[in-house]
Amino acid sequence: MFIGARTIKTGIAVATTLFICDLFHIEPASFAAITAVVNMQPSVSKSLNNAWQQIGVHLLAATFALLIGILIGANPISIGATVISLILICNWIGWSGGIVLGIVSIIFILDSPPETFLIHALSRSLSIFVGLGIALLINRVLAPPRYKTKLLDTLQSLLVLTSDYFLESLNTFIHAGSITSYQKPDPQKLKDLFEEITLLYEHAREEITVEDNPPLIERLLEICRGFIERGQSINQMTSQRVKRRQQAYSEAELQEISAQFQDIMDILFVGHGKLTGLIQALRLGVTEKKSCKFYDEDISYWESFDKAIDEWNRKVSGVFYLRALMEVSVVATELRWAGRRTKAILNRLYKQNPKMIK
C-alpha cells in the first residue's frame, strides 16, 4: 500500500511535537499535537501562502480567548460570542482560510480550569503555538509535494496521447473500406491517465498562479477528455461498419466502394490532415505558451463536404445507405468539434500575446 508524503509528514509532526513538549515540560502536549495535525497542508505552496495567516489567526484567537477568560470568564455563551467575533474579524481581514484553526484555539484556551485560568490558558497557548510552529516547519522543509510542475509536464503528454488516439480513430474510419478485420483499441489507460491528471490538477490549484493560465489548463483537460470519448465513439462505429460489410458482401465486393462515397472519404481525409496540422500547432503553442496566428472557421471545406453528401444522396438509397449516412455524419461532427475546440485554444493563446497581434 502506497504511503503519501503528507501521511508521513503528519506522523513526524505529531512525534516531534510530543517530543519537544516532553523535553521542555510543555503541557498539555496533546493540544500541541492536535494543533500540528490540523495545521498540516497538502502542498508546500499552500503552506507558505497561509503561514502568516495561520500565525495571525492563532494570535488573534489566543488574545481574544485570554481577554474573555480574564474579563468575563469561560462559559458556553462567552465561548460562542468569542467564536462569532473571530469569524467576523477574520472574514473582514481576509483570513477565512484559518478560521477553523482559530476556533480550535479558542476552545482549547477557554476550556482551562477557572480556578487557575491564567496559568493554564498561557500554558495551552504556548502548546498551541509549539504545534503550529512545528507544522509550518515540517510543511516547509520535509518532502514538500510540488504538484504544479508534474501537472504541466504530464498534461502535455496527455494532449499528445489523446490527440493521437482521436486522429488514429478518424484515420481508421476513413480507410475502413479496405479493412477485413478490426479490433477496437482499448482507451482504458488513457482514461486512467486522464483521471490521474485531473486529480493532480485539484492538488495543484493552490500552486497555480495567473501566469500559469488556469483557464488554458481547464480547456486542455476538456479537449483531452473529448478526444478520448469521441475517439472511442468513432472506433465503435468503425467496428460496426467493418462487421456489417463482412456479413453483407463477399471478399471481392468488400473492395468496391462507390465513387460518391469515396469522394466523401477523401474529403474527410483532407479534414484529417487539416486537424493534424492544427493539433501540431496546439502542441507547440502549449509548449511555447503562444500561437502565431488567428484561426477562422474553414467554411469552404465544410461546403465541399455538404456538396459531396448531396451528390451521394442522389445516387444511393436503402438501409445500408442510411446507416452509412448516420456514421459519416457523426464522424464529420466529431471532426468539426475537434477543429473548433483546437482553434479556440489556439486563438486564446494568440490573443494573450499582444506582440503577435499586428
Q: How far is CA 188 from CA 163, 194, 202, 235, in A?
A: 15, 10, 21, 14
Q: Is 204 helix (H, G, I), strand (E, B) or coil?
A: helix
Task: Report the distance separating Cα 46 and Cα 23, nearest Å.
Answer: 30
What integer best gives the mean pLDDT of the chain? 83
pLDDT at 1: 42
Whether the Cβ atoms of residue 151 and residue 193 lie closer than 8 Å to each other: no
Q: Which residues of the chain have pLDDT under 50?
A: 1, 44, 254, 354-358
Q: Pick from 335, 338, 175: which is nearest to 271 by CA?
A: 335
Task: For domain 147-356, give the fold.
Answer: Methane Monooxygenase Hydroxylase; Chain G, domain 1 (1.20.58)
Residues 228-262: tens digit of each pLDDT: 999 999 999 888 877 876 666 555 554 556 677 78
Which distant-in-sequence residues (6+ apart) come within 8 Å of 326 by Cβ? none
Supply the pLDDT for residue 327.
Answer: 86
| Contact present, 342 and 279 (Cβ < 8 Å) | yes
